[in-house]
Structures are given as structure tokens and as C-alpha cells.
Amino acid sequence: MNINLTDEKGHLVQEFEYDFDAMMMKAESQSGNAFSNAVQVIEQSIKEKGYLKNASTPSNIIKYLKSFAAFGYAEKPLVISVKKINERSAAMIDTASTTFEEIISLPNEELQKRYNRLVGLDDIKSLIKKEGATIMAPETLQNWSKRFHNKSLEALLSFSDRYPFFIFEGDVGTGKTEFAMTFGNELAQATNQEIILARMSMKSRGNGVVGEMSKLITKSFQDAKQLATSTKKPVIVLLDEADSLAQSREENQMHHEDRAGVNALIQGIDHIRNSATPILVVFCTNRLGALDPAIKRRAALVHTFSRPNLEQRYEVFRKYFDDITLTPKELAHLAQMTGESESNNYGFTYSDLLTRVIPQSVLYAYPDKPLTFKIIQQTIQTIQPTAPFVEQNNKGGKVLG
């Protein structure tokens, strides 16, 4: 397979051959969509040649790869628009890739599909799009102020006191982590810029060596800032299961090393606050009460992800069963069935619906029956909703998460 790299004006800057079969084998060995993974494999090869793919969805690349896979050849080379990166930027990306569990350039077509599948979250989508834009593209606030008030309002000065830091909390399966992984894609398109998503690795806990955890956490924030500075792109730093690193220092049994790690997190959040290129930190947790108070105070936004209510469950079923023509009454019945019951004072989570109820319904019908309301109904009756997360409090009692 031949690949031509062109500059923004369409001029050829480099051409090379790529082993299609080897690339797809590597892509298929990773989780997720093979063709989307293949795009990332190609992007990595481009980086090794000293270039970055220009901001655009990879749909044309995926279309080309699917065609090549179908016919075994292509009459024309794959053309990719790129820009040259200096040695410092390339080195910083390589360095950061060892610090973070994953680094993704946004917008990304696969993440957009995952974001679109998050049904019933329109309110938080709208809120984060607005909140995120003021952090990742602060000039939009000034533009708004000048448009409607013909000046920069004094009220805008208060935004300099806010930390670029969100906390998403909620029970297991409520969609907080999936939302945290994908909302940046929508933000990149809304602000018309590339954004880098960097997932902080849980290896930041270290191996128990004194001082190791705090050093790893400090390095993560330093690398995030250098990544933003060298690439001139805003960065989203995501930490899932944040309570494992950010537990309250008020806990009597807390180890000295854990206290030092929390201090490093606080200092890291403070450190990126004055970054010339914006950095947004996002923590996900199902134990908000376990987070250190100093960390919670720094959050510009704390949003609770709840189990879907009746209307949201209805919308999930309407979206995913839209093409088998269920009646509104049938959809309402399914939504009612997956809510609270006499045996459970909690309903199904988003994860229960999307990863258990819907695919299991399909499998009950496959391969010799059509998917029907009755089958979906029977499927729900065989599945128990995920129980709420429960943790032990300091007195040995149970606390619902």
C-alpha cells in the first residue's frame, strides 16, 4: 500500500510503502474497531517520520483501508495531509507516551460514535460543551462579552480564579468514564481545534517505594504541561478511579506515601492552572466522599452521573430498537420493567442496558427468530440490575456509593 504525505497546500512532502497485512494484524491485536486502530498505527508511523496528521476525521482513511481490504489493492495511493513537527515536539510525544496509559488526538471518529451512543445525557453534554469551551478556548468568553456588551466584562476576571478541573462522580455503570473519554471529541469540533486526550496511568501508584508515587504523579502533570507547550494543543488529562490516588488525608490509617501522593495531585492541579496552552484535568470516581477535601474544593464542576430515569430508559430503548417498530406503549413498558421494583430499590444502569439487556435480547433471537418485544421482555426478566457500589465507612458500617 502506497501512502503520500502532503502539506496543507496539497504539495507532496513524502511518499512511502506500507505493509497492509502487517498493519492490520497489529490493529486487530488491539481492542476496539480494527480500522480505527489501523488509523492510529498509521499516525504513529507518520510521527516517526517527523509529521503529525492534520486535524480531520479519519473517515477517508478508513474508507480507503476498507476498500483496500476488499479488493487487495488500490489504484491510487492513500493521501494524508500532515504538518512538520519539530524534534522537541516529537520527543515530548514519545516521552509522554511512556508516562500516560494512552494518548489520543482529537477529533477521533471512533470516539465520536461512542459519544453519540450516550443517550439521555443531553443536559450534561450541553453543560460540559459550554464549560469546556471556556477552558480550552478562553477567547470565546471575550468574544461573547464584546458581542453583547461591547467590552470585556469585569465578571470575566472571576474565571482566572477557577481551576481547570472537573470531577465526574456516580455509581458503577452510570456512564461517567465513557463520557469522560469521549466529550473532548465534541469539544475539539466545537472549538475548531485539535485536542490531546492523555489518560493517566494507574502505574502512578508506583511499587510502594518511598517517594515513588508522588514522583510519578508529579511527572504526569509536568509531561502534560510540556505536551501542551510543545504541540501548542490543549490537553485533557483523565484519571479514572481517582479515589485510588486522591483519598482524603483525614483517614487515620492512611500511609505516609499515600498522603504524599495526594499532595502531589494537589500541586499538579495547581501547576497546570497557569499553563499558556490550556490543560483540563478530569477525575472520575464512584466514591466522591473518599476524595480529599482540598481536591474537591478545587473542582470548577462536580457532576453526578445517576442511573437512568424512566424517560432516559425509554430513550435508550427507542434509539436501539427504533428499526423493529416497537409501539410507544411497548417502549414505556420496557422502561418501566428496568426501573425500581419490589425486590430492588434501584433500577438498571446504562451499562446494564447497553452491554447486557440489548445484546442479550439480540442473541436470544439470533439466528432463527426475529427480534420482538416479547423476546426483549423475557430477556429483561432474566437479568438483575447491577447493585449500587457499597463501601465500608470508618466505623465499619456500609455506605452506598
Helix axes 212-231, 87-99, angle to 10 degrees: 150
Please compute the mean of the pLDDT values over residues 133-156 and round it to a whole number. 94
Per-residue pLDDT band at 331 (split at 50, 70, 90): very high
The residue with greater pLDDT, 288 or 40, is 288
C-alpha cell at 345: 430499590
Residue 279 pairs in a beta bridge with: 235
Distance CA 187, CA 166 (A): 14
Overall residue count recorded for the chain in this entry: 401
Express as a percent the part of the chain with pLDDT over 90.
54
Residue whose C-alpha is closest to residue 206's, from 128, 256, 258 = 258
Please compute the mean of the pLDDT values over residues 375-387 and round it to a whole number. 96
- Parallel, antiparallel or unpaired: strands 100-106 and 235-239: unpaired
- Parallel, antiparallel or unpaired: strands 279-285 and 235-239: parallel
Say yes or no to pLDDT of 400 above 60.
no
Please compute the mean of the pLDDT values over residues 316-329 and round it to a whole number. 95
Please compute the mean of the pLDDT values over residues 54-73 and round it to a whole number. 79
Contacts of residue 15, defined as CB under 8 A and 6 or more positions apart, other chains included, come to 2, 3, 4, 5, 77
Say yes or no to pLDDT of 93 above 70.
no
> How many other β-carbons are positioned within 10 Å of the β-carbon of residue 120?
19
Express as a percent the part of the chain with pLDDT over 70.
87
Say yes or no to pLDDT of 399 above 50.
no
Would you list the domain boundaries of the chain?
2-84, 91-305, 310-381
pTM: predicted TM-score of the whole model, two decimal places: 0.74
DSSP state of 274: T
Say yes or no to pLDDT of 55 above 60.
no
* End-to-end C-alpha distance for the chain, whole angstroms: 52
The residue with greater pLDDT, 257 or 214, is 214
pLDDT of residue 210: 47
Q: What is the mean pLDDT of the chain?
A: 86
Say yes or no to pLDDT of 32 above 60.
yes
Distance CA 84, CA 70 (A): 32
pLDDT 10s digits, 225-255: 999 998 889 999 999 988 888 777 766 566 6
DSSP state of 284: E
- CATH code assigned to 91-305: 3.40.50.300
Per-residue pLDDT band at 118 (split at 50, 70, 90): very high
DSSP 256-269: HHHHHHHHHHHHHH
Q: Where are the beta strands (DSSP E) in 87-223?
A: 100-106, 165-170, 195-200
